[in-house]
Amino acid sequence: MDGYIMALDQGTTSSRCILFDHSGRICSLAQQEFTQYFPKPGWVEHNALEIWSSQYAVATEAMARIAVTAKDIAAIGITNQRETTILWDRRTGMPVCSAIVWQCRRTAERIDRLTPEEKEMIREKTGLVPDAYFSASKIEWILDNVKGVRERALQGEICFGNVDAWLIYKLTGGQTHVTDYTNASRTMLFNIHTKQWDEELLKLFHIPADILPKVQPSGKIFGYTDESVLGGRIPIAAAAGDQQAALFGQCCFGPGEVKNTYGTGGFLLMNTGTRAITSAHGLLTTMAAVCEGEPVQYALEGSVFVAGSIIQWLRDEMRMIKTAAQSEEYADEAFDTAGVYIVPAFTGMGAPYWNPYARGTVVGITRGCKKEHFIRAALESIAFQSMDVIHAMEEDAGVPLNGLKVDGGASSNNFLVKFQADLIGKEVSRPKCIETTALGAAYLAGLTVGYWKDRDEVRANWQLGRKFVPDMQEEERAELLRGWKRAVHCAIGWADDRE
Ligand code: ADP
């Protein structure tokens, strides 16, 4: 099969489109950042129409850059920021309000009100730690707080979707309302064992079943683009949440294979094959991406809410750097952090702590602390948080990890990845192509339409970019770890003393 596979990568901070060829090479790329709204402390919103318009714009731009038309595109694969919740009018396609972003904490108190029995039921059915992070309480909030929406929903006029379902609806000209297993498994309404929307959970969150999309495997034809959108009927042959797509893009196809993504947040996933393993250490059990006809696969996941976004914060709010890449130069200039630790709990803490009320904390500041130290501490905080998750995963898996594959925007930072290798005392491999999220969506779509023959053909494309070998002394590592634990203790103490 000729042509390209188009990956639409709708991330938290930007919309991207990449055209890949058979070798998994990036032939064209277009990207647009879009607006982040912070209407109240701890609240995060996006404009769903801007998500669509930016995604559409980069799709046409990527095609225009290498002068291809719809007939040159064998299939589209979608990957998206997960959990982010959009409700729209089924007929007009107009969102009923802003998209509530995964990071948003507005429903934290709602989750607190769940009884221990309800929390246990959620864990068992969904594999998730009950939290405001997931879609369920966000949907309920919209139904309860946006005027008239519950009534319209009861009359079948409203669709709910995560960003994948929203984009598919728009791409198909409003014809299709569908999602995939990986996205559904992040709503906290989907039973990952029976692979069905769960009536008991829908009742618990007062959500009418009519608003839900149909669920199917990640690699399957979801529909075709409306001719008026990209100039032809292109099969939309895959959709997968960003982290599951990255796991696929890193070719972690078998049990025990692990990747860590440093994007807006940090996400460590381990493929656990056909077994849904329950974590004893605050990790989530989630569905991994597979194509139609394959047995379902599960993954263990550690989610860290703030990773690369602390660098964005240094750039946009603190105005300490002009570009994200500059953070590496500053970190290299500072020999250490001068004893400073930053815990970037801007929207609470995820795995393994799960504290929605923790907030960003800086400790250890002395008169000698310079901007360089502060920036270095910010980068180190990304690696510390991943280290906590890696330790939790090793405990759950019962075996030490034997290395780590990394990707995501912030993995281009050599200081960060080397520091990560030092902290965990293991080799860290960064592939040549760190756009593994988009690549994973492309692979799923390409396998579905026969652009690639099988997983072996896909695996042959994985190429090492750089390997980072640890050389930190054990004593120094232990000292750093102790400091980090004390800092986390402070961030959580701040939350615990809030009354
Ligand atoms: P997402 O898909 O979640 O939008 P990306 O994988 O595109 O995220 O990564 C973007 C994030 O990576 C941003 O938060 C940005 O601050 C961070 N980032 C990008 N380049 C660097 C860099 N060189 N050093 C540190 N952080 C970086």
| 410 alpha carbon – ligand 1 mean position (Å) | 4
Confidence of residue 397 (pLDDT cuts 50, 70, 90): confident
Confidence of residue 496 (pLDDT cuts 50, 70, 90): confident
Atom of ligand 1 nearest to the CA of 315: 16
Residues with CB under 6 A from ligand 1: 11-14, 263-264, 308-309, 311-312, 324-325, 327-328, 408-410, 412-413
Atom of ligand 1 nearest to the CA of 311: 16
Helices (H) and strands (E) in the chain, counts: 17, 23
Residue nearest to atom 8 of ligand 1 (CA): 263
pLDDT higher than 90, residue 396:
no
Average model confidence (pLDDT) for the chain?
Answer: 94
Domains and CATH numbers, the chain: 4-244 (3.30.420.40)
| 35 alpha carbon – ligand 1 mean position (Å) | 15
Do residues 101 and 84 touch, judged by C-beta distance below 8 A? yes
| 188 alpha carbon – ligand 1 mean position (Å) | 27
| 406 alpha carbon – ligand 1 mean position (Å) | 13
Facing residues of 303 across strands? 267
Residue 309 is predicted with a pLDDT of 93
Taking every pair of C-alpha atoms in the chain, what is the biggest distance, in angstroms? 64
Do residues 6 and 60 touch, judged by C-beta distance below 8 A? no
Q: What DSSP element (H or E) covers 438? A: helix 436-449
Ligand 1 pocket mutation, candidates 262, 306, 411, criterion most atoms within 8 A of CB: 262
Residue 449: name the closest of 296, 244, 235 by CA: 235
DSSP-derived 3-state class of residue 92: coil
Atom of ligand 1 nearest to the CA of 407: 6
Q: What confidence tens digit (pLDDT) does each residue in 43-77 have?
A: 999 999 999 999 999 999 999 999 999 999 999 99
Read off the tokens for 491: 């961030």
Atom of ligand 1 nearest to the CA of 312: 16
| 308 alpha carbon – ligand 1 mean position (Å) | 5
Confidence of residue 331 (pLDDT cuts 50, 70, 90): very high
Mean pLDDT to the nearest integer, 303-326: 95
Q: What confidence tens digit (pLDDT) does each residue in 219-245 have?
A: 999 999 999 999 999 999 999 999 999
Residue nearest to atom 7 of ligand 1 (CA): 409
Amino acid at 462: W
Residue 298: name the closest of 268, 275, 266, 269 by CA: 275
Task: Count the residues in the chain.
Answer: 499
Residue nearest to atom 13 of ligand 1 (CA): 308
| 263 alpha carbon – ligand 1 mean position (Å) | 5
Confidence of residue 454 (pLDDT cuts 50, 70, 90): very high
- Report d(CA 7, CA 153) in Å as an integer: 32
pLDDT higher than 80, residue 292:
yes
| 9 alpha carbon – ligand 1 mean position (Å) | 14
| 413 alpha carbon – ligand 1 mean position (Å) | 9
Count Cβ atoms within 10 A of the Cβ of residue 456 and give its class: 0-12 exposed, 13-18 middle, 19 or more buried: exposed
| 434 alpha carbon – ligand 1 mean position (Å) | 11
Q: What confidence tens digit (pLDDT) does each residue in 25-50 have?
A: 999 999 999 999 999 988 999 999 99
Atom of ligand 1 nearest to the CA of 307: 14
